[in-house]
């Protein structure tokens, strides 16, 4: 069945270092979304990418959607302790909107 995998599962960085998580789908996606979940919290929507090759930035966060629309990445420049949490990508499940399949998530730990 449809799968969305993320690597790495866990990343520990020193504050100020960069961080990247990769999201790979077994199927082509019409769009991809990214969510952040702080420890003990709930997932919060960050951004949605729709176009092939699209790149969007939010301050120190850069999101990219692959040309084949099967992969995506999130890059954080100069991590801060406030970046700690699990980052999930998500895409339409079975090609249908209003149903999402979530990636396995990447847990980011930032050491001050």
Q: Rule CB under 8 A: which residues touch other proteins?
A: 1, 6, 9, 31, 33, 41-45, 48, 88, 90, 92-93, 97-105
Tokens coding 94: 């079975």
Question: In the bound complex, what is the minimum distance in angstroms from residue 27's beta carbon to other proteins?
Answer: 15
Contact yes or no for 29/37 (Cβ under 8 A): no
Alpha carbon 41 to chain centroid, angstroms:
17
Residues in the chain: 112
Question: In the bound complex, what is the minimum distance in angstroms from residue 96's beta carbon to other proteins?
Answer: 9
Question: In the bound complex, what is the minimum distance in angstroms from residue 71's beta carbon to other proteins?
Answer: 16
Closer to other proteins by Cβ: residue 17 or 93: 93
The residue whose two tokens read 């909107």 is 97
């Amino acid at each position: 069945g449809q799968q969305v995998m993320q690597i790495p599962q866990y990343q520990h960085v020193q504050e100020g270092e960069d961080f990247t998580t990769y999201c790979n789908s077994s199927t082509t996606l019409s769009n991809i979304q990214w969510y952040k979940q702080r420890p003990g919290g709930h997932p919060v929507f960050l951004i949605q990418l729709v176009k092939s090759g699209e790149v969007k930035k939010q301050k120190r966060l850069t999101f990219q959607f692959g040309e084949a629309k099967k992969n995506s990445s999130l890059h954080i420049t100069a991590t801060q302790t406030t970046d700690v949490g699990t980052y999930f990508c998500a895409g339409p499940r079975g090609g249908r909107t209003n149903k999402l399949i979530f990636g396995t998530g990447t847990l980011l730990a930032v050491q001050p």
